[in-house]
A and B are shown apart, each in its own frame.
Chain A
Amino acid sequence: MFSLHKTSVAFCFIFLSASAIGGNPFFVRTGAGERGTGLVCVMKNGFWSSFSSQSLLAYNNSFSAGVNYENRFGIPELGTCTAGMIFPAGKSSLGVIYSNFGYPEFKRNMGGISCGMPLSRNVSAGVQIDYFSEIVQGEYDKIRFITFEAGAAFSLSEKATAVIHIFNPVPNSIRKSLLPSTLTAGAEIDLSKTLFAGAEAEMSTGENIIIRTGFEYEAAKKFWIRGGFSTENSSFSFGLGYLLKSMKIDLGFSTHERLGVTSSVSLVFKIK
C-alpha cells in the first residue's frame, strides 16, 4: 500500500514535468542541442530535432545513434533518459526513439517509430507512431495511449526553412483519458555561414501559445554556442556543442523563473 504522501508527490511531479517543458508533457522534445536553443526544434536539421519534427528526418541520411539525459531543476526523480537511432532507407530515413521519465512511483515511457522523406525539391514530410504508458503506483489505472504525429518542412529559399508539425490530431472523445494535442509552426534562417536563427509558435490543448526563439553560432571549427528564449515561464536557454571525430557532445541549460535550472547532456554517434 502506498502512502498519500507518495501519491501527492507523484502528482506534483506530473505537474512539474509539464511546467518544466512548457506545453504538452507528452510531446517529447529532447536533445541538449535543442535545449540550448530554447527548444526551437525547427532550428537547423539535427539528430534530436528529427524526433520532434519528423519531416527533418528526410535530411538525416546517415546511420546514427544517440543518448540524452535531462535533469530538471536538479531533482533526480524528474530525470528523463532518451535513446534514439536513425537508419537511412533509400530516399527515406527511418527512426526509433525510446524515452523514460520519472521514478518507480510515477513513470512515463514513450516509444516511437518514425519515417521522413522528401516529397519534392522544396518539400519533405514525416510521420511518427507513438506509444505512451504512464504508471502511477497505487489504486490508479495504468494509462496507455497510441497516437501519431506528422509534419512537413519547406525550403522557402536557400537560406530559410519553415516547418509545421501536428502531434496527436485525434479527437479525445475516442479515448478514456485526455491526451493533449500540439500544433507547432516555425521557421529557421541562415544569417551567415556560421550563424543560424529560428523561431516557432506552439500551442497545445488548453494552453496558451508559446513563442520560442533561438540561435546557434559556430564560434570555432566544430564548436558551437547556443542561446534561446521561450515565453513559457520566461525561460532563457544556453548551450555548447563540440564535434569529436564521429561523436557530437552537447550540453544545454534552461532556466525557469521559479523552479531553477534544467540541464541536459547528449551524445550522438555518426556510425556510417
Chain B
Amino acid sequence: MIFFNHKEHKGLHKEHKGYCLNQICLCDTLYPAFVSFVVKKYLFSFKQKLIILIALLFLLCNASFGQAENNNEIISDIAEELAAEDNDPDAASLYLEYFNDLIENPVKINLMDENDLSRLFFLSDFQVKSLADYIRRTGNVVSVYEIASIPGFDQHTVEMMSPFISLKVNDGVSSDSLSVRSTLITNFILKPGEYDTSYLGSPLKILAKYRITAGRFSAGLTTEKDAGEKFFTGSPLFPEFLSAYTSYSGNGVIRKIILGDFSLRFGSGTSINTAMRTGIQLTAPGFMTLRDNLRPYTSTDENNFFRGAAADLAVRNAEVILFYSRNRIDATPVLSSDSVISSIMSFYKSGLHNTSSLLKKKDLLTETVYGMSLSYNFSFIRVGANWSETWLSIPLQRNANDPENIHDFEGNKNRLLSINYNTVSGRIMIYGEMTVNNFRNLALVNGATLRPSDRLLVNVLWRKYSNGFTAFNGKGPGNSSSAANEQGITGNFSFEAAKHLFISAGYDVTHYPWLKYRCSFPSMSRKGEIELRYLPSEKLNFEFSYDYRYSMINNQKTTGIAGIEGLESRNFKWLLRYTPDENSAFTTRINYKTAYPSGSRGMLLLQDVYHKFGRVPVTVWFRYCLFSTESWDSRLYTYENDLLYSFSIPALSGDGSRSYIMVKWDIRHFGEVRIKYGFTEVTEKSGAGNFNDEVKLQFRVWF
C-alpha cells in the first residue's frame, strides 16, 4: 500500500498493524522533493544558491546531516556495548556516524542493488540476498510490513531496519538528469565545564557538512574543529580538518569513481577497512558481511581514511576495485640527539590538536597506500582476492624495552595479500578470509550463518590473528583495536520463541597468546549476553537483558613480576517503552551493575519522553536520569538522542543526575533547527555538587 498524503496515511494507519512508520511513507518523501524542486526552480538562481552556500559555510563557519527520530533500543544497546569496550574507544563513534549516514541517506531497497543493501550492515549477507531475490521475484516492496514475511526476516529485524530504508524507487528525478540537490548541516557544541584555559582555540566544537548531488555525480565537503582547537592552522592557513570528495556512480562497467577522500573495505576488513568494524554482536541478528565496499568519506575521524582516487569496475560477474592514496596522518615522533625526527613510535589517532604539543603531531607522516581487489561471483560461491601496499615516509620503530611489543611492526613498508570466499547453500551461509602481511604474519577469519527455521538464526565466527600481524588500515572482526595477538570464537542466536517474544543470546571467548597492554602474561576474556524482548501490543515493549564480562589484567598491588587479576562485571537492564500514539513515546529503564573484585555496585533509573506536536512542527526529547555508582568500575553508559553527526553516550559514575532536553523545529521542509541542553550533576557525600552542562545547536538546510 502506498500513501501519497498524510490524510490517507493516517486513515489507513490502523490497517498496518504497527509496521507503517512515517519515515517510509511516500507523503513524507515525495513532498519534500517537490518543495525542493519548486524552491530550486522558482526562488533561487544558481548564483543565489552559491552565495547562500558560501555565506553559511564561512559566516556560520560550519554545518552537517541524520539520526533516528526516536531512541531505537537496538542502536542504544550496541552503542552502549561498544562505548564500554576499553580496547576500541573509537568503535562507538564510528558506529553512530554510520547510523547517521544511513538516516541521512536511507537505503532504497527497491533498487535491488546488493552493494547498497549491504550498507545495512546489521543484515547478514544471507538477508541481503534474500531481500534482493524477493524484490526481483515479486516486484517492489510497498510496505515495511511486507519485509517481515520475507525468509530470513522477522519483526525484530524490520523494526531495526525501518528508520534506515526508503521504499522510493527514485527521487522523482532520473539519475541521468542534472537536477541539483544540496544539503548543509552546521553543528555548534559548547561544553563550558570541559574547557581548559591552556587550549589554543575557542571552546566551541564546530562541524560543517555540505553535500551536493546532480544525477550520477555527487560531491561533499566536511570540515571540523574540536573544542579548544584553532579553526585555521598551518601555513598557509587551512581549516583544522577539511575533507572533500567528488564521485560518479554508474550501472555499467564503471560502478563508482571517487576523487578525493574515500572509505574502503575489502572483504571482512582484515587487510583494508577504514569503515566500521565488521563482526557479530552478541545479541544482534546479523552483522557480518564480506562485500567490498567503496564509499565517499564523510566522517570526521582525521586519520582513518584514504585521500586520492579509487574506481570500482564490474564486468558481468567480475568486480575490480583499484585505489591509490597519499595522505598525511598524525604520529608521535622519536627525536634523535640533534632534535631531528628519526622515526615514529606510534600513530596518534584521536584527532585532537588543542595544545601546542598535540599540534606538533598533526600531519607528521605521509602514508601512501595503493592496491586492488578482484572478486568473482560463481553460481554457488563468491571468491575474492586483494593486494595492497603501504609506505610510510618515516619508519615506525617499536619500543623494544617492553616485551609486549617485540612482535610489533617495524619499518616503513607493509604488504598485504588476502583471499576470501562466501557461499550460500539453502539455509546455510559460510564465509572466510585469509590475510598475510609481509609474507610473515597471518590473519584467519571463518564463520557461518545458519537459519534452521524462519524463527531461528544462528551465527558462529572464529578468528585468529597471529602475533605481529599488522594492517595499518585494517579492522577485521575481533575484540582489540589492533586485531593482532588474538584468537577467539563468537556465537549468537536470535529466536522468535512465541508470537510476541524474542530471545537472543551470544557468547564470546577470546585468547591472547602473547602479552598485551596492562597484561604481562597470556590472557583470555569472556563475555556473554542474553536478551528477552516481549511486545504484547503495538504500544508496549518490554525488554530484559543480562550481560557478563570477564577479562584479565596485571595485579597492580604486587611488586616485581605482575600478578594476575580478573575483572568481572554483570549488568542487568530492564526497559519498558510505551507508545500511546505515533507522536509520543515514554521509556523507563533500570540498570543494575556489579563489578569485581572491587565489589562495587551501580544503578540508574531513567525516564525518556518523546513528543512530536501536532499543530506546530516541533519535536521534543526529554530525559531525566538518576544514577548511583560506588566506583568507576561500576559506571553505567546511557545512549542519548543527539544532533546529527554528534553523539553522546556519557559514562555515569558517582551519585547524581543526568538530564537533557532537545527541541527540533522543522522549517517547512526547507530545513530544521535542533537545540540541545544537557547537564550532569554529581553530588559528593559532603553535599557539594559538581555541575557540567552543554549546549548544542544545529542548522540543517536543504536547497
Contacts and interface: CB of A to CB of B under 8 A. Distances in A.
**Are A and B interaction partners?**
yes
A246 to B, nearest CB: 35
Given A181-B657, A207-B628, A208-B628, A122 B580 contact: yes
A177 B679 CA distance: 19
A206 B681 contact: no
B590 A201 contact: yes
A185 B626 contact: no
Contact of A172 (B584, B586, B659, B683): B683
A156 interface: yes
A208 B604 CA distance: 8
A156 B605 contact: no
Interface string B576-611: 101011001010101010000000010111110000
Contact of A203 (B540, B576, B580, B605): B605
A164 B580 contact: no
Contact of A154 (B586, B607, B624): B586
Interface string A168-180: 0101110001100
B689 A166 contact: no
B681 A209 contact: no
A32 B576 CA distance: 30
Interface in B490-507: none
Given A162-B576, A178-B689, A205 B657 contact: yes
A206 to B, nearest CB: 4
B687 A177 contact: yes
A205 B659 contact: no
A120 interface: yes
A59 B683 CA distance: 37
A172 B681 contact: yes
B683 A156 contact: no
A204 B683 CA distance: 12
A219 to B, nearest CB: 31
A121 to B, nearest CB: 9
B687 A209 contact: no
Interface in A73-129: 120, 122-123
A152 interface: yes
B367 interface: no
Interface in A150-198: 152, 154, 156, 162, 164, 166, 169, 171-173, 177-178, 181-183, 185, 187
Contacts of B681: 171-173
A172 B580 CA distance: 33
Contacts of A203: 603-605, 626, 628
A208 B691 CA distance: 21
Contact of B687 (A162, A178, A204, A208): A178
Interface string B668-687: 00000000000101010101
Contact of A209 (B590, B656, B691): B590
B499 to A, nearest CB: 17
A152 B580 CA distance: 12
A154 B657 CA distance: 25
A156 B578 contact: yes
A205 B656 contact: yes
Interface string B527-542: 0000000000001100
- Interface size, A (range): 20 to 34
B655 interface: yes
Contacts of B539: 156
B586 A152 contact: yes
Contacts of B691: 171, 173
A47 B685 CA distance: 36
A188 B540 CA distance: 15
Interface in A25-50: none
B540 A156 contact: yes
A209 B659 CA distance: 18
B607 A206 contact: no
Nearest to A160: B540
Contacts of A166: 607, 624
Contacts of B604: 203
B679 A209 contact: no
Interface in B549-574: none
Contacts of A205: 626, 655-657, 683
Contact of A206 (B605, B606, B683): B683
Contacts of A122: 580
A203 B591 CA distance: 12
- Pick from B605, B659, B691 the residue with the most CB of A within 10 Å: B605
A123 B605 contact: no
A208 B629 CA distance: 9
Given A156-B540, A164-B588, A209-B603, A169 B624 contact: yes
Nearest to A181: B657
Contacts of B656: 205-206
Contacts of A183: 605-607, 624-626
Contacts of B592: 209
Contacts of B540: 156
Contacts of A185: 576, 588, 605, 607
Contacts of B687: 177-178
Contacts of B588: 164, 185, 201
A145 to B, nearest CB: 14
A120 B584 CA distance: 12
A156 B536 CA distance: 11
Contacts of B580: 120, 122-123, 154
Nearest to B659: A169
B438 to A, nearest CB: 54
Contacts of A162: 576, 578
A208 B601 CA distance: 10
- Pick from B607, B624, B685 the residue with the most CB of A within 10 Å: B607
A202 B606 CA distance: 10
A204 B657 CA distance: 9
B270 to A, nearest CB: 44
A203 B584 CA distance: 24
A156 B691 CA distance: 37
Contacts of B683: 172, 178, 205-206
B590 A206 contact: no
Contacts of B659: 169
A209 B589 CA distance: 12
Contacts of A187: 576
Contacts of B606: 183
Nearest to A162: B578
Nearest to B691: A173
A235 to B, nearest CB: 19
Nearest to B589: A185
Nearest to A164: B607
Nearest to A186: B588
B244 to A, nearest CB: 42
Contacts of A208: 601, 603, 628
Interface string B165-180: 0000000000000000
Nearest to A176: B687
A202 B607 CA distance: 11
A172 B605 contact: no
A209 B689 contact: no
B454 to A, nearest CB: 30
A169 B679 CA distance: 11
Contacts of A206: 628, 655-656, 683, 685
Interface in B617-650: 624-626, 628
B586 A201 contact: no
Given A171-B679, A172-B683, 9 more contacts: A162-B576, A183-B624, A185-B576, A185-B605, A201-B588, A203-B604, A205-B655, A206-B655, A206-B685
The 3 A-B pairs of least Cβ separation, nearest first, read A206-B655, A203-B605, A173-B691
Interface of B: 539-540, 576, 578, 580-581, 584, 586, 588, 590, 592, 601, 603-607, 624-626, 628, 655-657, 659, 679, 681, 683, 685, 687, 689, 691
23 contacts: A169-B657, A171-B689, A171-B691, A172-B681, A172-B683, A173-B681, A178-B683, A178-B689, A183-B606, A185-B605, A187-B576, A201-B605, A202-B605, A203-B603, A205-B655, A205-B657, A205-B683, A206-B655, A206-B656, A206-B685, A207-B628, A208-B628, A209-B605
